[in-house]
Structure 1
Amino acid sequence: MRAAGRIAAAIEVLGDVTARHRPVADALKDWGLSHRFAGSGDRAAIGNLVYDALRWRRSSAFRAGEDTPRALTLATLRFRWGVGVADLEAMGEERFGPGPLSEAERAALAVDRLGEAPADVVADIPDWLEEAFEANFADEWIEEAEALAARAPVDLRVNTLKSDRARVLKALSRHGATATPISPVGVRLPARAGWERAPNILREEIYQRGHVEVQDEASQVAALLLFARPGEQVLDMCAGAGGKTLAIAAHMENRGQIHATDADAGQLAPIYERLKRAGVRNVQVHGARSDLSALKGRMDRVLVDAPCSGSGVWRRRPETKWRLSPEALARRVEEQAACLDEARSFVRPGGYVVYVTCSVLPQENEAQVDDFLSRAPDFAPVSAGEAWEELFGVDGPKPWSADGMSLTMSPAATGTDGFFVAVLERMAD
């Protein structure tokens, strides 16, 4: 497909996403099934443009003067991809292009008015979240919000049960692989620009043989901050597909026992195949709604990777930024509190709960921990910052810490997804 046809297709897909509130992946799949002439490269390129239009939805709508799929797409091409007005005009008139520019479109695309926009528009976040971002990131909140709108790299975790980072870096050198700056077991493939397609890691031999897993560096760091030791008893309460479970198993060198469970059976389903591929032998999977009473009071460490808004992973799922509502956030906060209260019962005296979210919102993070500590006088916070320095040193990227104990990773500060980590110790009887 020519660029003009891809632009027209992106407008069509974006219209489907916004009208039906669908995930981009589903809309792209359906579009591909009904347009068999489009190759995988075309579908990936169209997806790039759709995702980018959603990343910068508010600023693009301001620049274009309207919030329609066509306006968002054209503004993204002009102001984010650097396509000239004359080129857009020419592509619009091609046979399978998006159609000629109107006079209003030419005028809007000719001059960048973003400097006149309110701060929350520049930051590309829902207006009702401005206060939360400013509370968490102070004077740098716009920079942090803008970083959450950028494309993310592909981060991989080296499975040290089967390989090492030097070997993985060599195998992926043709993709521009580099070592991650924080995680000692991370490998990063740079984000691509424009139409360029990201490599399909799932087709690589080192992935199929279990030498690497796709996992953002922040998620790797969160698993390391659990400080799980070989031989310990660990509960991963909200294991999902098992990314952190696999990381913890590698840190524990397949010794000890990890109990992995999740309330959502569908989320947990992929863990079995992933454990097999990774060569993990010290994980016992407990299905959704399993009776875990035998584990109570016995765990050395409990990981609570709580359900959350997902605001920290907007780089990867930009459509979710615009679906989040105050009501949905309030429901997540309630679920998180319930998860923490449940986790409390599994920890032995002297053990730890590590509370993690992929969120940058204080309601889900510091405030949640404060509320838990007010209900759980037998728990006390441990400095995650000191743990960070012990693991990663003092000279590298620094996370945020609003309370001096917990920490928040973010794209602008640490070059990662947005992740919050708090370590809570159950005091000995």
Structure 2
Amino acid sequence: MTPAARIAAAIQILDRILAGDPAEPALLRWSRASRFAGSGDRAAVRDLVFDSLRRLRSRAALGGAMTGRGLMLGLCRDEGIEPSTIFTGEGHAPPPLAPAEQAVTAPGRVGERLDLPDWLLPLWQQSLGDEAEPVALALRDRAPVWLRVNLRRTTPEAAAAALDRDGIAVAPHAALASALRVTQGARRLASSAAYRDGLVELQDLSPQLACALLPAQGSLLDLCAGGGGKALALAARGAGLVVAHDIDPGRMADLPNRAERAGVRIRLAAPGGVSGRFDLVVADVPCSGSGTWRRTPDAKWRLTAADLARLQQTQAQILDQAAGFVAPGGHLAYMTCSLLNAENADQAGAFLSRNAHFSLLEQRRYSPLTASDGFFLALMRRC
């Protein structure tokens, strides 16, 4: 596919997303209907779509319309590409620009410039203060790829060497040697020997840093396990009995194979089937995902104020439920991948105000300015 044909494909997919389709299914449908597109074409079109979703409002302003065509025209102007070389109407290229599309506009409103919904701006600024603008701008760029070295299997140095043999270059984090940032060859990871043999797992830096602060001795319950990344990380650090639970067991479907590959043991609990007390309970609750909008940028534009209010109610309910599983003297780790105070410090503070037998030990918020994804941890102890 030519660059112009790739942009034409991205226009088609973006129009579907703007009409309400989630990004991943829209891309999958295009891919299945476009057998002529090679792997390089599919990757390039995906990058065009996701990059435009990260910068939706600013690109629409530059392109003069909130349409797939407007977004791709905005991309050309944003990246210094002469639109007339792309919008030619020749072959599979998009049609030439109409006279009304010749005028160049620029993002004027704050929400356009920061690529945020207008309704969210007050909460964003209140939560992040002086960092509100730089964090919003950082979320417009592609997220880095981070790996967690499985210390049960290998050392960071040996893992890096194994990855290098498969053409994957990495660099360790200065404060956490077991966290490796992929600097080259990220698309080779799934087929690499280091991944197949359980030497490394995909996990962003921010949750790695948060997990490093947790006590990993004794029994552990990962209450909202999802794919089980935190359960795997803590099991690799030496946690005893590790139980993973999720209200949607399908999210944990790959966890047994991942645990076997990693050389750790994790017991899966059926939905609502958790009992007993644990030395550490991890509650990585459903949230806005505002810290991960680089990875799921369409979620930024689907979130509403009503959604956020419902999520806060769910978070409070899960926190109270999780507290009942914490053994005396044990720890409760409240986590989100959000940057909003309403889901983070405010939620932890409200929990502590209604649960006097818990005390706060540690509270951290990570962002693209300090780590990688936006992430929050409140570590509490039961008296």
TM-score of the two chains, using structure 1 as the length reference: 0.85
> How far has the Cα of 1:64 moved from its partner?
2.1
1:250 alignment partner in structure 2: 236
Deviation at residue 198 of structure 1 after TM alignment = 4.7
Quote the residue 1:392 is aligned against: none
| Alignment pair present for 1:321 and 2:300 | yes
Given candidates 183, 188, 199, the residue that maps to 2:181 is 188
On the 8 A contact 2:18/2:67 being kept in 1, the answer is: no
Q: State the 1:227 CA deviation.
A: 2.1
The offset of 1:102, in angstroms, is 2.1
Structure 2 match to 1:391:
none
Q: Which runs of 4+ in 1 moved over 4 A?
A: none
Q: Following the alignment from structure 2 to structure 1, what is the Cα–Cα distance between the partners of residues 73 and 91?
A: 17
Distance in 2 (CA, whole Å) between partners of 1:284 and 1:347 is 18
Deviation string for 1:210-255 (max 9, x for gaps)? Answer: 11111101111122222212xx011111111110110001111xx5
Partner of 1:409: 366
1:127 corresponds to 2:111: no
Tell me, yes or no, if the aligned pair for 1:299 and 1:347 is still in contact at 8 Å: yes
Q: How far apart, CA to CA, are the structure 2 residues paired with 1:279 and 1:39?
A: 36
- In the alignment, the residues of structure 2 paired with residue 236 and residue 120 of structure 1 have an alpha-carbon distance, to the nearest angstrom, of 37
Q: Distance in 2 between matches of 1:422 and 1:54?
A: 31
Aligned to 1:107, the other structure's residue is in SS state coil
Tell me the distance in 2 between the aligned counterparts of 1:190 and 1:23.
Answer: 29
Q: Match of 1:358?
A: 337
User: CA 1:44–1:302 in structure 2 vs 1: closer, same or farther (change >3 Å)?
Assistant: same
Q: Does residue 1:99 correspond to 2:95, yes or no?
A: yes
Q: How many angstroms apart in 2 are the aligned matches of 1:214 and 1:268? A: 15
**CA apart distance, 1:6:** 0.4
Residue matched to 2:219: 233
Q: Contact 1:148–1:315 at 8 Å: present in 2 too? A: yes
Alignment-derived partner of residue 380 in structure 2: 424
Distance 2:7 2:133 in 1: 29
Do 2:168 and 2:188's aligned partners in 1 also have CA atoms closer than 8 Å?
no
Could you say what secondary structure the match of 2:128 adopts? helix
| CA deviation map 1:63-114 (0-9, x unaligned) | 22221111112212320xx2422xx212221311011122232322xxx623
- The number of aligned residues is 380
8 Å contact 2:61–2:74 — kept in the other structure?
A: no
Which residue does 1:68 correspond to in 2?
A: 67
Instruction: Report the secondary structure of 2:187's partner residue.
Output: coil
Give the structure 2 partner of residue 206 of structure 1: 194
- CA-to-partner distance for each residue in 1:373-404, whole Å, 9 max, x for gaps? 1110111111x2xxxxxxxxxxxxxxxxxxxx
In the alignment, structure 1 segments of 5+ residues that lack a partner are: 192-196, 385-405
- Per the TM alignment, residue 350 of structure 1 is displaced from its structure 2 partner at its CA by 1.5
Look up the SS of the partner of 2:8 in the other structure.
helix
8 Å contact 2:62–2:77 — kept in the other structure? no
* Conserved? CA contact 1:182–1:217, under 8 Å: no
Report the secondary structure of 2:331's partner residue. strand
Give the residue type in structure 1 aligned to 2:382.
R
SS in 1 for 2:227: coil
Secondary structure of the residue aligned to 2:373 is coil
Return the offset for 1:125: 0.9
Match of 2:9 in 1: 9
Shift of residue 184 of structure 1?
Answer: 2.6
Task: Tell me which residue corresponds to 2:268.
Answer: 285
* Deviation sequence 1:27-71 (CA, Å, 0-9, x none): 111111111110111001000000011000011122222211111
Q: 1:272 aligns with which of 256, 273, 284?
A: 256
Q: Which residue of 2 aligns with 1:219?
A: 207
Cα distance, 1:333–1:12 mapped onto 2, change above 3 Å: same
Q: Does 1:342 align with 2:348?
A: no
1:259 is matched with which residue? 243
On the 8 A contact 1:228/1:251 being kept in 2, the answer is yes
What amino acid sits opposite 1:246 in the alignment? L
For residues 120 and 85 of structure 2, the distance between their equivalents in structure 1, rounded to whole angstroms, comes to 39
Which amino acid counterpart does residue 48 of structure 1 have in structure 2?
Answer: D
Q: Distance in 2 between matches of 1:374 and 1:7?
A: 53
Partners of 1:357 and 1:327 in 2: CA distance: 18
Alignment-derived partner of residue 84 in structure 1: 81
Q: Is the 8 A contact 1:136 1:361 kept in 2?
A: yes
Note if contact 1:119-1:142 (Cα within 8 Å) is conserved in structure 2.
Answer: no
Tell me the alpha carbon deviations over residues 100-144 of structure 1, each in whole angstroms, 9 at most, x when there is no partner.
Answer: 122232322xxx623xx2222211111111111111221220111
Partners in 2 of 1:22 and 1:171 — Cα distance? 40
Identity, in percent, stands at 41
User: Given the alignment of the two structures, is residue 169 of structure 1 paired with residue 160 of structure 2, yes or no?
Assistant: yes
Q: CA offset at residue 320 of structure 1?
A: 0.4
Contact 1:313 1:358 in 2 (8 A): yes
For structure 2, the residue ranges without an aligned partner over 5 or more in a row are none
1:274-293 per-position Cα deviation (integer Å, ceiling 9, x unaligned): 11111112x22112221x23
> What CA distance in whole angstroms lies between the structure 1 residues aligned with 2:77 and 2:199?
41
Which residue in 2 is equivalent to 1:311?
A: 290
Cα pair 1:122 1:142 within 8 Å, conserved: no
Determine if contact 1:302/1:353 at 8 Å carries over to the other structure: yes
The whole-number CA distance in structure 1 between the counterparts of 2:91 and 2:118 is 39
Residue 397 (structure 1) aligns with? none
| 1:242 partner letter | G
